[in-house]
Amino acid sequence: MKPRQAQPSVAKPARERVYLYVREEILRGHFAGGSFIEEEQISSAMKVSRTPVREAFHRLEAERFIDLLPRRGALVRQVTAQELVDLYETRRMIEGYAVARICQQKIPVPAEMATILDEMEQFAGGDHFPRVELNRRFHFTMVGALGNEVLSELYQSLGSRQQRVAMTAMSVDPNRVDRIRIEHRALLAALQAGDEAQARAVLEQHLRPIVGVVSRLPGYGPGEGD
């Protein structure tokens, strides 16, 4: 799939613009897992020197979007079936803990969570990228409500996998948009009511691996996602 033509912008530093462009192209599947991205290719598309491209590539490697291979370029990482299952398990642990703390200790539910859901519902059509970005913010805001910076940093480190899995899930099953909307609203309502049992039940359903998504990833075998 041919990547989008980069749009010129002077609002951000070159390395930030390159980072955002390549990251979005990976999330949209224009740079597929297992493919190589060359510095010259991005430098030409973005009309910048190679220095900001290298800086952006190092950031993308740190966030596990790519692997930098000597003399070969940037290899787009593939999210495997096992990695997806492990991701959901880790998210259930972290977000389940956040739910318990919020409900048990009556931690104020951030107003931003409702605002994010309102923003998500403004997007129509088949472009799932803005929804996925807002979805990440919604869950990160919930975890951030605890005020535990170490936990927030740990959760943030899951971002690249989380977003790539979400984009895959949306493309496989577009009807999932409505289910996600309902589950988000139910989770928020349970948190606002301080109903830990209901919030946990919604979260378990929300963070359940989907066979239709898992089966499309490398390394899938019987039993994955069951």
What ranges do the domains of the chain cover?
Answer: 14-76, 81-214
For residues 105-114, average pLDDT: 98
In CATH terms, the fold of domain 81-214 is Four Helix Bundle (Hemerythrin (Met), subunit A) (1.20.120)
Cross-strand pairs, 66: 76
Nearby residues of 116 by Cβ (< 8 Å), 6 or more positions away: 134, 137, 138, 141
Asked if residue 127 lies in contact with residue 4, where contact means CB atoms within 8 angstroms, the answer is no
Asked if residue 43 lies in contact with residue 183, where contact means CB atoms within 8 angstroms, the answer is no
Asked if residue 69 lies in contact with residue 75, where contact means CB atoms within 8 angstroms, the answer is yes
pLDDT value of position 223: 57
Average pLDDT, the chain: 88
Residue range 100-109, pLDDT digits in tens? 999 999 999 9
pTM: 0.80
pLDDT value of position 28: 87
Angle between helices 14-27 and 129-144 (to 10 degrees): 110
Tell me which residue has tokens 């200790």: 105
Q: Which residue has the higher pLDDT, 130 or 222?
A: 130
User: Over 50: is that where the pLDDT of 126 sits?
Assistant: yes
How does residue 226 score in pLDDT terms, banded at 50, 70 and 90? very low
For residues 182-200, average pLDDT: 97
Tell me which residue has tokens 């899951």: 158
Q: What is the CATH number of domain 14-76?
A: 1.10.10.10
Residue range 19-67, pLDDT digits in tens? 999 999 998 889 988 999 999 999 999 999 999 999 999 999 988 899 9
- Would you list the DSSP string of 139-165? HHHHHHTT--HHHHHHHHTTHHHHHHH
Q: Which residue has the higher pLDDT, 86 or 151?
A: 151
Angle between helices 159-172 and 129-144 (to 10 degrees): 140
